[in-house]
Amino acid sequence: MGQIVVLDQNMVNMIAAGEVIERPASVVKELMENSIDAGATKIIVSIEDGGRKLISVADNGCGMDSEDLAKAFESHTTSKIKTSSDLRTISTLGFRGEALASIASVAQVRAVSRPVLERSEGMKNSAAANCVEIDCGNKGSVSPCSANYGTTVQVRDLFYKLPARRKFLRTANTEMTHIIEHFTRIALANSDLDMTLTHNGRELYVLLDRQSLRQRIAELFSPEISENLIETESKERGLHIFAFLGRPGVSRTNKKFQYVFLNGRFIRDRFISHAIQEAYRGSLEPDRFPVVFLFIQMPYEDYDVNVHPTKIEVRFYNANLVHSQILASLREKLLGINLDVDAKLPATTGAFKQQEDTPAAHLRSPKITDAMAEFFKKHRPIQTQQQFEREVPSARRKARYAPLPSAKAEKGDQIPDTRYEKPQQQRKFLQIHDSFIATETDEGFIIIDQHALHERIVYEDLCRRIRQGKLEAQKLLIPESFQLTDAQADVLKTNAELIEKLGIELAPFGPKTMAVQAFPTLLSKAAPLDFVRDLLDLLTDKGAGLDAEKLLDEVLNMAACKAAIKAGQKLSDSEIEQLLADRERVQRASRCPHGRPTTIKFSTGDLEKQFKRT
Ligand code: ADP
Ligand code: MG
């Protein structure tokens, strides 16, 4: 009896601080967000000792007069919402009115603020600066001081009266990593603001408002990432989507480089994450994650931010729409662009002399020269080298019947390609070690992995046909029989529809025995029995865990792999021509269905640099 007491306000704030203020980085985030809400165009963040000693955020925003400054550190005080209806359309980053109170309950805080003239016209002492100090919830009085327009909040000795929390702070470096992460998110979402971050007096980032988002990404991440981003934008059904999509070459082993912003707020959302991953499916190996910067704008009333203390999660009222719009927008872009991989030739920047200084560099150029010489020696234009035209089928037909200039070169001249006039639009190709195909392009040449490319072609054809109905099948002259277990018989029964869609016809052929009666024509290169066995294994392993669409995709993947030309398989000239023509036709030809590259590009410019011609 009589056990329950009402906690005093400072205790309430400390408890709130437990949710909102996890570590120095949370303080940085809350203070920077306040500066942005105050309309600042410049924010300076200074940190000492990983934030343990000092976190200072100075802005040139609207500032506060003495009355507001006194109130700002009370709990549940905010200028951003007034009525419950405001909660439905929150356009500011803050609104809970508890950040400053929480921070001030667990540290020593000094805040200085000077409001801009226009805002406070008519108020007493409006343009004067004031300051206030709060020591773990004990607030001093507001007193005048001198300061620039805007607000500076300094937070010292975070958690100093809470040894248990302070003990959990990590090294200055680790805390700085977290601070940089929050700084980065805010800097990306507000690329039109000047922002500086210093640690122990050293400038880590000086970001200018003049720079483009791409330049900002180069500074915050790396020039390599920034140069490998594809821009896309769409506006449909109330959703404005702008994204920088990382090319597969800069992909990662985790999702850390996926930044999603909703109306300027960094958020985490599993629907959006899923949409990103789906958009890249087939463009990236399954264990890789793309670098993505995604900026979404939508009406404030279409989602709720009041679901998480740090507001990192939101609730979309129509999550399916958000998912499908993002997926469609990103996927369309990724399908439409060429993701061929650029060959990684050794860097040739710097003086030639300087290159020779390093032992590895010394070896590089001759190595490439040798490789090229070897390449042309092995593949003189005798049998495999042909001319054909890629882009215009009718022109290609013509070229086939015309006397081939390469035939002339074959007889008298062993030098492969430079001695004769090359007809416009005609390309040469070579099969290398029965596995790769090299062919000329306008910019240089490409090397294709014949299996990977054909796998993509077969996969795309399979997908297209399946979308239209079932695959066309051909009766086997002699049905091929196989034994199956009860469990496998069950799997066949459960997946009867899928098997029929594939155009595979199975019929009982005695006790525990089935026979393959018909097999899809598109898979004619695969052995029916072998294929059905693997199909059964796949359905047994994955059938239960995947939805119908994913399962079908897995099956088509496997089918494409089995029916595709193999590495080590000699191809006739017409087969190579067909492969190269199909490459122009199918979507995502740059990647096999598992996301591995099919094509590596070499530009003449790079080669010339390597051979020191430029
Ligand atoms: P919230 O941001 O949720 O409103 P805070 O505790 O972070 O709550 O801040 C309380 C109030 O103090 C804000 O609503 C705002 O009016 C004022 N404020 C805080 N920081 C600044 C700043 N940098 N410039 C101007 N006003 C500020
Ligand atoms: Mg706030």
For residue 421, pLDDT beyond 90: no
Q: How far apart are CA 224 and CA 463, in angstroms?
A: 34
Question: Which residue's alpha carbon is nearest to atom 25 within ligand 1?
Answer: 63
For residue 354, pLDDT beyond 60: no
Count CB-CB contacts under 10 A for residue 445: 19
Question: Which residue's alpha carbon is nearest to atom 14 within ligand 1?
Answer: 78
Q: How confident is the model at residue 348 (pLDDT cuts 50, 70, 90)?
A: low
Tell me how far the alpha carbon of residue 34 lies from the centroid of ligand 1, in angstroms: 5
Tokens found for residue 359? 């032992």
CA distances from 504 to 220, 357, 550, 577 (A): 54, 63, 19, 30
Q: Which residues pair with 293 in a beta bridge?
A: 244, 259
pLDDT 10s digits, 258-311 = 999 999 999 999 999 999 999 998 888 888 899 999 999 999 999 999 888 888
Neighbours of ion ligand 2 (CB under 5 A): 34, 94, 99
DSSP, collapsed to helix, strand or coil, labels residue 133 as: strand
The 10 Å CB-count burial string (b at 16+, else e) for 142-161 is beeeebebbbbbbbbbbbee
Q: Which ligand is nearest to the CA of 73?
A: 1
* pTM (2 d.p.): 0.73
Sign of CA dihedral 398, 599, 464, 520: positive
pLDDT 10s digits, 1-55 = 788 888 888 788 888 777 789 899 999 999 999 999 999 999 999 999 999 999 9
Question: Which residue's alpha carbon is nearest to atom 12 within ligand 1?
Answer: 72
Alpha helices in 221-349 (DSSP H): 223-227, 270-279, 319-336
For residue 358, pLDDT beyond 60: no
55 with 158: CB under 8 angstroms?
Answer: yes
Q: Which atom of ligand 1 is nearest to the CA of 78?
A: 14
Tell me how far the alpha carbon of residue 35 lies from the centroid of ligand 1, in angstroms: 8
- Type of residue found at 612: K
Alpha helices in 21-155 (DSSP H): 24-37, 66-72, 99-105
- Mean pLDDT value across residues 322-326: 95
Q: Which atom of ligand 1 is nearest to the CA of 61?
A: 24
Q: What is the DSSP code (8-state) at residue 574?
A: H
pLDDT 10s digits, 476-528 = 988 899 988 888 889 988 999 999 999 999 999 888 899 999 999 988 888 89
Which one of 57, 80, 100 would you pick to mutate in the ligand 1 pocket, going by the greatest count of ligand atoms within 8 A of its CB? 100
Q: Which atom of ligand 1 is nearest to the CA of 100?
A: 6
Task: Write the burial class of residue 573 (CB in 10 Å: 0-12 exposed, 13-18 middle, 19+ buried).
Answer: middle
Pairing of strands 292-297, 258-262: parallel
113 with 57: CB under 8 angstroms?
Answer: no
Q: What is the DSSP code (8-state) at residue 418?
A: S
Q: Which atom of ligand 1 is nearest to the CA of 101?
A: 6
- Mean pLDDT value across residues 237-241: 94
* Residue-level pLDDT at 123: 53
Q: Which atom of ligand 1 is nearest to the CA of 73?
A: 6
Backbone phi, psi, residue 63, to 5°: 70, 175
Q: How far apart are CA 317 and CA 326, in angstroms?
A: 15
DSSP, collapsed to helix, strand or coil, labels residue 378 as: helix
Tell me how far the alpha carbon of residue 73 lies from the centroid of ligand 1, in angstroms: 9
502 with 559: CB under 8 angstroms?
Answer: yes
* Residue-level pLDDT at 545: 77
175 with 51: CB under 8 angstroms?
Answer: yes
Question: Which residue's alpha carbon is nearest to atom 20 within ligand 1?
Answer: 34
Query: What percent of the chain lies above the pLDDT cut of 70?
Result: 85
Q: Which ligand is nearest to the CA of 61?
A: 1
Q: How far apart are CA 603 and CA 605, in angstroms?
A: 5
Which one of 34, 55, 105 would you pick to mutate in the ligand 1 pocket, going by the greatest count of ligand atoms within 8 A of its CB? 34
Q: How confident is the model at residue 313 (pLDDT cuts 50, 70, 90)?
A: very high
* Residue-level pLDDT at 86: 85
Backbone phi, psi, residue 128, to 5°: -80, 155
Tell me how far the alpha carbon of residue 29 lies from the centroid of ligand 2, in angstroms: 9
pLDDT 10s digits, 103-119 = 999 999 999 999 987 64
Q: Which residue has the tokens 């122009």?
A: 584
Q: Which ligand is nearest to the CA of 44?
A: 1
Task: Write the burial class of residue 106 (CB in 10 Å: 0-12 exposed, 13-18 middle, 19+ buried).
Answer: buried
* Residue-level pLDDT at 122: 52
Q: Which residue has the higher pLDDT, 344 or 93?
A: 93
Q: Which atom of ligand 1 is nearest to the CA of 63?
A: 25
| Long-range CB pairs of 545-551, under 8 A, 24+ apart, other chains included | 548/498, 551/498
> How far is residue 352 CA from its own chain's centroid?
37
CA angle 264, 267, 272 (to 5 degrees): 110
160 with 108: CB under 8 angstroms?
Answer: yes
What is 228-246 written as a DSSP string?
TEEEEEEEETTEEEEEEEE
For residue 407, pLDDT beyond 60: no
Q: How far apart are CA 288 and CA 250, in angstroms?
A: 10
What's the mean pLDDT when you consider all of the chain? Answer: 84
* Residue-level pLDDT at 370: 55
* Residue-level pLDDT at 342: 78
Pairing of strands 341-342, 599-603: parallel
Tell me how far the alpha carbon of residue 579 lies from the centroid of ligand 2, in angstroms: 59
Q: How confident is the model at residue 432 (pLDDT cuts 50, 70, 90)?
A: very high
Q: Which atom of ligand 1 is nearest to the CA of 33?
A: 2
* Residue-level pLDDT at 420: 34
Q: Which residues line ligand 1 (CB under 6 A)?
A: 30, 34-35, 38, 59, 61-64, 72, 77-80, 94-101, 151
